[in-house]
Structure 1
Amino acid sequence: MAIHIDNKQNYINQQNESKVQSMPFKILADCDAQVSKYFESGVKVQDDETLKASFRGYPLRGKTVELPDGYVGLVLHESIPPVSDKEERKFHITNKFKTLTYWNWDKAPSKNDKIIQALDWIDVAETLHSPITEE
């Protein structure tokens, strides 16, 4: 299956960025939500810079992380999903981000979280694939 990403509006070079929240659940909706009004207004910052909030009464603990230098996160939208796995997929970029906030269910953020491990892997992969120089 081929994946195509359309950047006609050149979002990568624009200055504005999205606020990205990675939640530990799915919301079965495809519409805009008033996140700043109903969710972000209840977020509390604790002494160790972890975040505390709740969603529909369930406790959440989170942390804001920055992407490594030289990397940009992209927000993609697929207007027409394919019918089968063999069809090509077409996405267009709707925005970009440099930081994201990830959330756990009532568990403090740690190095064992999948997002942190994925971001750590970027450094490992760059080290593994960089040329070896004699010093």
Structure 2
Amino acid sequence: MNMDKVIHIQKADSEVDEDINIHYMPCKIHSDGEAKVSQYFSPNITKDDKNGLLKASFRGYPLIGKAITLPKGYKGLVLQENNQSNIDKERKLFTKHVFKELVYWNWDKTPSKNDAFISALDWIDIAEAIHAPIGDENIAST
């Protein structure tokens, strides 16, 4: 049985919205349907001027957040699948939104480099350093 799948990501035909607020939430929602997020999630966000952290709440739970800018040369994409009939063979996703910044939230702790999401972003810089060509000036003589 061949389990290979092909995923195509295409630019949307219309203008892509780049003025969007992205929130990475620490929760699982067991639904694949659309949600009226802008109607039901417009948090009252306060900023702590001392440490730059953000505070809000979601369904009564306190959130601690941090604004994160994606690394230079990278963009985040919000993708939408228009036709799910070919889900077993081939999927076509279209770019709906593009973003360069997001707010990363935690329930019970301050966001830190120990969080999987933030450390994954750090991996981009590490991977570039590992795969960069090594010149003679980078080799230390022993």
TM-based fold match above 0.5? yes
TM-score range, shorter chain: 0.7 to 0.9
Partner Cα distance (2:17, 2:78) in 1: 14
SS in structure 2 at match of 1:121:
helix
Counterpart in the other structure of 2:60 = 57
Partner Cα distance (1:105, 1:128) in 2: 34
Query: Displaced runs of 4+ in structure 1, greater than 6 A?
Result: none
8 Å CA contact 2:63, 2:107 repeated in 1: yes
1:76-134: CA deviation from partner (whole Å, max 9, x where unpaired): 111233676x4222100001000011111121111111121011000011011111111
8 Å CA contact 1:17, 1:98 repeated in 2: no
Normalising by the residue count of structure 1, what TM-score does the alignment of the two structures yield?
A: 0.83
TM-superposed CA distance for 1:32, in Å, is: 2.8
Partner Cα distance (1:5, 1:91) in 2: 5
Amino acid at match of 2:9: I
8 Å CA contact 2:12, 2:96 repeated in 1: no
SS in structure 2 at match of 1:34:
helix
Normalising by the residue count of structure 2, what TM-score does the alignment of the two structures yield?
A: 0.80
Bigger radius of gyration, 1 or 2? 2
Map residues 14-25 of structure 1 onto 2, 5 A cutoff.
Answer: 16-25=18-27
1:32-91: CA deviation from partner (whole Å, max 9, x where unpaired): 3226x8533x1111121111111110111110100111111111111233676x422210
Unaligned runs of at least 5 residues, structure 2: 138-142
Partner Cα distance (1:95, 1:78) in 2: 13
Map residues 1-135 of structure 1 onto 2, 5 A cutoff.
Answer: 1-9=5-13, 16-27=18-29, 28=31, 29-34=33-38, 38-40=41-43, 42-46=44-48, 47-81=50-84, 86-135=88-137
Partner Cα distance (2:125, 2:77) in 1: 19
Identity over aligned pairs, percent: 45
